[in-house]
Amino acid sequence: MDVTGRERVEEGHERALEELERRVEERTAELARVNRTLNILRECNRAVVRAKEEPPLLQEICRIVVDVGGYPLAWIGFAEQDAARAVRPVAWAGFENGYLKTADISWADAERGRGPAGTAIRSGQPDLSKDIRTDPRFAPWREEVVRRGYISAIALPLRESGRVFGALSIYATVPDAFHPEEVDLLMELADDLAFGIASVRERAARNRAEEAQRESEERYGSLVELMPDGVIVYQDDVILYVNPAGVRIAGGKGPEDLVGRPLDRFVHPEGHDLVALQVRRMQQEGTVTPLFEQEFLTLDGRTIWVEVTAAPILYQGLPSTVVVFRDVTGRKQAEEALVRHAEELAHLHRQLESANREANLYLDILTHDIGNTENVSNLYADLLIDTLKGEEVRYVKKLQRSIQKSIDILRTVTTIRRIHQASPELKPIDLDAVVLGVIENVPGRTIHYDGTQYRVLAGDLLSVVFNNLIGNAVRFGGPEVVVAVRVAEKDGFVRVSVEDTGPGVPDDEKYAIFHRYEQQKRGVGEGLGLYLVQILVERYGGKVWVEDRVPGRPEEGAAFRFTLRIAP
């Protein structure tokens, strides 16, 4: 009996059974992988739902991928926006053994950015390495990865609102471990994770904002309670809140005295139109009203002035208005008193100016008439001297000296008036011309002066300083006196010295000599000259003093010194 056909049929059946078993095994393995991935997806979704903070969520996702999925390593990296475009590991689980610390992964289009993680971030699509041992893109990390037993890998982009901000990387110990169905499910996992991260971040940001708002409200509440200015919040003209300062300004004992009352009750009738205008403008423009002053009626019947501003706010979730005001009654009273005082001062100033003009007129008349009388008296004295002899001549000369002293006093008074009437503005003055002009008016005396090139800041009365100093040296030094005028420069000033060989100034008089006129320790007309010198030098920005011509020996003459600023 020929059984060849039957054997061929049986062989065919066996091959069919083997193929069927192979397909069943493959399908079973595929179903196992899919089921494993579904379990990962389910557990990860649970973690996302329960998550409250981002770092624990990331760590839990990596743990689930390793523990539930059986993968040796899972890690999450965020894309940094630095120059190197680094991928910063933020969570991992499994057998990492220091790999991520040295991996130096980037998402730039460069050698260390062409691995799965960098490519997934850059492209926004999953990226696989089916066999790390032969994948040229894994060259920078192959030795470390293979040494740890990783053979294949996948990186899944983390996307949120069209932006890729990181990647979930998973490693396997067999080649080509990630099949299309599994990749689709893992991509769904990555999207769910990205959504969870965004939700946690949004919730954290909202919590921070709410906490900041609570802190702000607490600070604002404390600030308002401690403010020295009054604060009122009202809705529809009814007061809902008032701070302690507002209660005090309004003359109440507690908030209950104002809360629930209409705001209009505290506005002076004459100010209703102004307040209504400001409120209407604030509501239309939604802006803060500028400060304005308004009369305010207190609970105890007083009328006070307040400075007010207002702004629209939300209070207890409803549109309201906050009013800030301060009592300025004292300031208003002070301003009114100041205005009255200013008017009184202006009136007094006008009276003083009128009196000053009259005094100057009288002084001009007196100076002119007395000067003419003294000149005539001096002329008659000259005639008497020519006609008299003996003792009478001596008396007439004393009279003539007294007349001359009176003329000098009038001249000095005129100079003082010129000083006070002169402009305070200084101008460059040729110092050499002033000194030479004064010396020319003192003929027959020995005066040493070497000249100078300096120009100083002074006024037209600078010659009065030299007239007095040189004139005093000649007058009190006697016929043999020698006078020297010296000029030196130091620190932007010139120092002028008028030295003489006269009787000098004792040490105990060196200060008082400039103040005899003020202290009235003088005879008729004495002390005016040096008083003028001091006034003028100080007005020109300098100072004046007297020293011994020879230090320590006042009997050998005096040295009057003063400083003047050099003109630029």
DSSP track, 345-373: HHHHHHHHHHHHHHHHHHHHHHHHHHHHH
Quick one: average pLDDT of 111-133? 95
Q: Which of 301, 327, 353 is the last residue of a domain?
A: 327
Residue whose token pair is 């001096």? 378
Whether 108 is in a domain gets the answer: yes
Strands 553-565 and 446-449: unpaired
Residue 1 CB coordination number (10 Å): 3
Whether 417 is in a domain gets the answer: no
Look at residue 9 and tell me whether its pLDDT is greater than 80.
Answer: no
The answer to whether the beta carbons of residues 112 and 106 sit under 8 Å apart is: yes
Q: Which of 170, 204, 238 is the last residue of a domain?
A: 204
Look at residue 383 and tell me whether its pLDDT is greater than 90.
Answer: no
User: What is the C-alpha separation between 182 and 190, in angstroms, rounded?
Assistant: 12
Percent of the chain with pLDDT over 90: 44
User: What is the C-alpha separation between 189 and 138, in angstroms, rounded?
Assistant: 25
CATH number at residue 240: 3.30.450.20
Residues 165 and 273 in one domain: no
Whether 48 is in a domain gets the answer: yes
The predicted-structure confidence for 209-265, as pLDDT tens digits, reads as follows 888 777 766 676 677 888 889 999 999 889 999 999 999 999 999 999 999 999 888
Residue whose token pair is 């057998």? 95
**The 3-state secondary structure of 370-424, one letter per residue:** HHHHHHHHHHHHHHHHHHCCCHHHHHHHHHHHHHHHHHHHHHHHHHHHHHHHCCC
CA atoms in the 13 A half-sphere facing the CB of 116: 24
Question: Which amino acid type is present at position 196?
Answer: G
Residues 54 and 200 in one domain: yes
| 319 sits in which H/E element | strand 318-327
Residues 323 and 382 in one domain: no
The answer to whether the beta carbons of residues 473 and 500 sit under 8 Å apart is: yes
Residues 523 and 444 in one domain: yes
The answer to whether the beta carbons of residues 253 and 247 sit under 8 Å apart is: yes
Of 544 and 519, more confident: 544
Angle at 304 between CA 298 and CA 305, to 5 degrees: 130
Residues 287 and 353 in one domain: no
Residues 234 and 125 in one domain: no
Whether 415 is in a domain gets the answer: no
**How many structural domains comprise the chain?**
4
Using the 8-state DSSP alphabet, how is residue 255 labeled? G
Look at residue 105 and tell me whether its pLDDT is greater than 90.
Answer: yes
Residue 119: the pLDDT is 96
The predicted-structure confidence for 499-509, as pLDDT tens digits, reads as follows 999 999 999 88
Residue whose token pair is 């010295």? 497
- Contacts with 106 (C-beta within 8 Å, 6 or more apart), sequence order: 84, 85, 86, 87, 112, 113, 118
The predicted-structure confidence for 146-163, as pLDDT tens digits, reads as follows 999 999 999 999 998 889
Look at residue 290 and tell me whether its pLDDT is greater than 50.
Answer: yes
CA atoms in the 13 A half-sphere facing the CB of 238: 7
Residues 321 and 404 in one domain: no
Look at residue 522 and tell me whether its pLDDT is greater than 50.
Answer: no
Mean pLDDT, the chain, whole residue set: 85
**Residue 389 structural domain:** 333-409
Residue 457: which pLDDT band, with cuts at 50, 70 and 90?
very high
Look at residue 52 and tell me whether its pLDDT is greater than 60.
Answer: yes
Residue 523: which pLDDT band, with cuts at 50, 70 and 90?
very low
Residue 542: the pLDDT is 94
Whether 509 is in a domain gets the answer: yes
Residue 390: the pLDDT is 73
Residue 517: the pLDDT is 55
Residues 189 and 337 in one domain: no
Residues 244 and 366 in one domain: no
User: What is the C-alpha separation between 89 and 104, in angstroms, rounded?
Assistant: 10
Query: 3-class DSSP state for residue 452?
Result: coil
Residue 558: the pLDDT is 94
Residue 494: which pLDDT band, with cuts at 50, 70 and 90?
very high
Residues 398 and 373 in one domain: yes
Whether 521 is in a domain gets the answer: yes
* Least trusted range by pLDDT, from 356-365, 378-387, 413-422, 518-527: 518-527
User: What is the C-alpha separation between 302 and 297, in angstroms, rounded?
Assistant: 6
CATH number at residue 154: 3.30.450.40
Residue 413: the pLDDT is 66
User: What is the C-alpha separation between 410 and 370, in angstroms, rounded?
Assistant: 9
Residues 254 and 192 in one domain: no
User: What is the C-alpha separation between 177 and 116, in angstroms, rounded?
Assistant: 14
Query: 3-class DSSP state for residue 28?
Result: helix
Residue 25: the pLDDT is 59
Dmax (CA) for the chain in angstroms is 202
Whether 22 is in a domain gets the answer: no
DSSP calls for 516-540 = HHHHT-SSTTTTHHHHHHHHHHHHT
Q: Which of 298, 327, 356 is the last residue of a domain?
A: 327
Whether 497 is in a domain gets the answer: yes
User: What is the C-alpha separation between 113 and 119, in angstroms, rounded?
Assistant: 7
Nearest to 505 by CA among 469, 466, 467, 459: 469
Residue 273: the pLDDT is 82
Residue 114: the pLDDT is 94
Residues 151 and 238 in one domain: no
Strands 127-129 and 152-160: antiparallel
User: What is the C-alpha separation between 464 and 415, in angstroms, rounded?
Assistant: 8
